[in-house]
Chains A and B, each alone.
Chain A
Amino acid sequence: MKKLLSGNEAFALGAYHAGVVVATAYPGTPSTEILESIAEFDEVYAEWSTNEKVAMEVGMGAAQAGVRALVSMKQVGLNVASDPFMAASITGINGGMVVIVADDPGVFSTQNEQDTRHYAKLAKVPMLEPSDSQEAHDLMEVAFEISEKYDTPVLVRSSTRISHSKSVVDTESSRPKKLKSAAFKHDVEKYVMLPVHVRLRRPVVEERLVQLTAFCETYPGNQIIKGEKKLGIISSGVAYQHAREAFPKASFLKLGMTYPLPKKLIRDFASRVDKVFVVEELDPFLEDNIRAMGINVMGKEFIPRIGELNPGIVAEAAHRAGLLPEPSRPRATMRPGLPGRPPVLCSGCPHAGIFFVLNTIGQRSKVLDARGKSAEQGKLIITGDIGCYTLATYPPLRAMDTTACMGAGIGQAIGMEKAGVDAKVVAVIGDSTFLHSGITGVVDAVYDKSGITIIILDNGTTAMTGQQDHPGTGVSVKGEQTEKVVLEDVVKGCGVDDVKVVDAFDIKAIRAAVRTSLDNPQLSVIIVRGNCSVRAKRGAGQRAVDMEKCDDCEICLRIGCPAIQKLGDKVYIDVTLCAGDACTICQQLCPKKAIGPVSAGGSK
């Protein structure tokens, strides 16, 4: 049957057909939909794990118990999960274990642009790369077979344009009726990594790599596509698709397995063509490894190392390399001067009020210049974290000084305080991020007697990746009610005495809580609670501006609400966007009381 599937949907369907029993993940763009899709199958146990490290450990345990396990995450998730990933490599598994990691070339939604392929080499595990949804589906069965045959986790590397592109998938596959049932075979020399056992496992891992190198020479996913002799392209993943389009006549070596590399096949291909051009996104991973074999290739001196490729960029690079004629017209570029439209916090966002308060108390708009810099330290330092709330960095809210990685803000705040800065340090973190990586920071703050203020923004969801549940919501990925982890109980249980919970849409209460916390020289935590507006059902009571009362002070515009707009000299509220009674922050802030419900006579 033919279906148009995204790469992520195809991974999930392929894994289902391959007989996956346990699937785990933590949401992260562009990998999130893999778990969401597989969770729809009743036969698969699926969970949002607390973080990627836990996801990897649950997957490892399931595989060691003898069933097939799928673990998925975005590329920086593998940084978090790298410890158990390395551990699974040395112990080996039992049932198949496949780890899908999705890179983000072009950085659409990540804090860096790292190339996951290096992890395959570091962990000495095989790596497969699909170039469209059909391959994403089909290679799951192959990946599990390799995993089981060679007793190793298998890394499947995706990227934004694989995970988030839809293409036609034709499949007649079905899930096997009978699957191996779980049974753990005790084997301390294999699973208990005491140094003495590690020494036994090391040669096994090296020998495994030798066997995998032999296997990949005949792996059908590595394939030569015959074309003209004068140019040979070596490529993999989505870069292969760009290259096929840019070089309709060239010969191709398409690599479906990119670690270890099929050295004989590469030598054979290189000897059959006059020149070899390596087309790959991000780092020269293939290129460096092929050059190390003594084969002279062209690549990153022409193909950009930074950002996402497309057929035009590849063709342009090929022209610079003297491999293609000059394009008939130069590649067009975006017209400068048009106002940008970066993502913003939504109308009715529960983060807007707290950031408005932090902005005003910290006088941030005065302290920071247009680019967010200041030579002099303000009276409030705000360390941030990963989530929608990172958008509060931009004007008008301008209430964030750092964003590094999941959970880092709390540790950074403690570090700044211990370094002796002459300002109060506030760490801001979302609910899902807090559970992912923030708790250990709180424990550190308690134990090491920190006096920072930690603000947990509890919007009851993992918002930025598209409203996924987490331990704090008490709902599983399958939509079932489960035990809810209560944030204030966790914080109090860690030993924090000053814990306040405030309503995200009550500006007075937020202001009072922030003031008293900032005055407290001891550690304090404020939980700002309010539903994510995307998740909340659109309610009644949309607001409007009464133009007769409005004196154009623009305070309402400083919330950064996309429903509050100004064209010319008229401030108005777009009723189709306004969250209404659920929010009312603008009404609370308006000094002229010019904002009220539409029905109460405010004009549009």
Chain B
Amino acid sequence: MKKQDLIMVGVGGQGIVLASDILSDVAMAAGYDVKKTDTLGMAQRGGSVVSHVRIADKVWSPLIQEGDVDMLVAFEKLEAARWSYFLNPKGVAIVNNQTTPPLSVSLGITRYPPDKDIEAILQRTAGKYYLIDGIRQVKELGDIRALNLFMLGCVSSLLPIDVKVWQDYITRRLPSKILNLNMVAFEKGREEMSRAGVR
């Protein structure tokens, strides 16, 4: 496999660290060398979160350099725009269509960029991007906490790792109480990407 450098970004509390943990373990189970690191702010929730995941035959640095990312997985739109400069010109962005205004927007100090501005930024930085309605779909499933498995379903459609490795790992990792819901979310993510033309 060609090396795969991914960053997962979003707002603290969205389950990004767990999502990147699962992706890393799956890649290791598939036989690759993996390094992953999270960049968290000083508090528990609410700040911008970035997780680097590197998958290759041999990985050196745990940090991906700016302009080298193959896949940007964004749980929130503003964070997608913020971190899109990490993408390489052929990189792919998967962006969950969710708007979470930072405090400075709520206070009227700054303005949340309109969708057309965010899409313009993605058009410039990404080789291809998918704007997907993940948050709506997991709300329909009844638990927004399944968003990370939905997003991983999307990611799995684009990575050359057998879906069985994913399913086996998720089955082992998640408590049985929440397994079904999350597996459905994972499949929904795969369907979403297949509708967008990814096979």
Residues of A within 8 A of B (CB): 2, 4, 29, 108-109, 132, 161, 164-168, 238, 241-242, 244-245, 308, 310-313, 315, 329, 331-335, 338-346, 388, 390-391, 394-396, 463-464, 466, 534, 557, 560, 562, 564-567, 574, 576-577
6 nearest A-B residue pairs (beta carbon): A312-B65, A343-B47, A343-B43, A339-B110, A343-B41, A165-B62
By a beta-carbon cutoff of 8 Å, the part of chain B in contact with chain A is 11-13, 21, 24-25, 28, 33-48, 59-68, 78-79, 81-82, 84-86, 99-113, 121, 144
| B67/A312 in contact, CB under 8 A | yes
* Residues in A neighbouring B121, C-beta threshold 8 A: 335
Number of A-B contacts (CB under 8 A): 175
Tell me whether A310 and B65 are in contact (CB under 8 A).
yes
Determine the chain A residues whose CB is within 8 A of the CB of B84 once the complex forms. 335
Can you name 7 A-B pairs with beta carbons within 8 Å? A167-B35, A241-B60, A242-B63, A245-B61, A338-B113, A340-B104, A565-B101
Which residue of chain A has the shortest Cβ distance to B89 in the bound complex?
A329
Smallest Cβ distance from B27 to chain A, in angstroms? 9
A241 to B13, CA, bound (A): 30
Q: Is the CB of A566 within 8 A of B35?
A: no
Quick check: A166 and B34 within 8 Å, CB to CB?
Answer: yes
Q: Which of B38, B39, B86, B108 contacts A566 (CB 8 A)?
A: B108
Whether the pair A168, B28 counts as a contact (CB closer than 8 A) is yes
Contacts of B108 in A (CB 8 A): 566
Q: In the complex, are the beta carbons of A165 and B35 less than 8 A apart?
A: yes
> Which of A244, A396, A463 sits near B107, CB closer than 8 Å?
A396
Residue of A nearest to B66 (CB): A332
State in angstroms the CA–CA spacing of A108 and B36 once bound together: 17
Contact of A341 among B40, B47, B67, B99 (CB under 8 A): B47
Also in contact, A560 and B103, with CB within 8 A (given A345-B43, A463-B44): yes
Q: CB-nearest residue of chain A relative to B28?
A: A4
CB B89 to nearest CB in A, in angstroms, measures 8
Who on chain A is nearest to B20 by CB? A166
Given the contacts A244-B60, A335-B82, A566-B106, A311 and B65 also touching, CB distance less than 8 Å: yes
A329 CA to B24 CA, complexed, in Å: 29
- Tell me the bound Cα distance from A557 to B62 in angstroms: 39
Give the distance in Å from the alpha carbon of A394 to the alpha carbon of B46 in the complex.
14
Determine whether the beta carbon of A333 is less than 8 Å from that of B107.
no
| CA distance in complex: A495, B32 (Å) | 62
Find out whether the CB atom of A346 lies under 8 angstroms from the CB atom of B43. Answer: yes
Give which listed residue, B12, B105, B107, B112, contacts A343 with CB less than 8 A.
B12
* Residue of B whose beta carbon sits closest to that of A2: B28
**Given A167-B35, A395-B107, A566-B106, CB of A238 within 8 Å of CB of B44:** no
Chain A residues positioned under 8 Å from B59 (CB to CB): 167
Quick check: B41 and A388 within 8 Å, CB to CB? Answer: no
Q: Given A332-B66, A338-B113, A341-B78, does the pair A567, B42 have CB atoms closer than 8 Å?
A: no
Q: How far is the CB of A247 from chain B (nearest CB, A)?
A: 10
The answer to whether B36 touches A165, judged by C-beta atoms less than 8 angstroms apart, is yes
Q: Which residues of B contact A394 (CB under 8 A)?
A: 103
Q: How many angstroms from the CA of A464 to the CA of B42 in the assembled complex?
A: 7
Q: Would you call B105 and A339 a contact (CB within 8 A)? A: yes
Q: Which residues of A contact B36 (CB under 8 A)?
A: 4, 165-167
Q: Given A331, A338, A566, which contacts B82 in the complex, CB threshold below 8 Å?
A: A338
Inter-chain contact B41/A4, CB cutoff 8 Å? no
Complex CA distance for A166 and B64, rounded to whole angstroms: 14
Which of B12, B38, B85, B112 is in CB contact (< 8 Å) with A567?
A: B112
| Also in contact, A339 and B37, with CB within 8 A (given A312-B65, A333-B85, A346-B43) | no
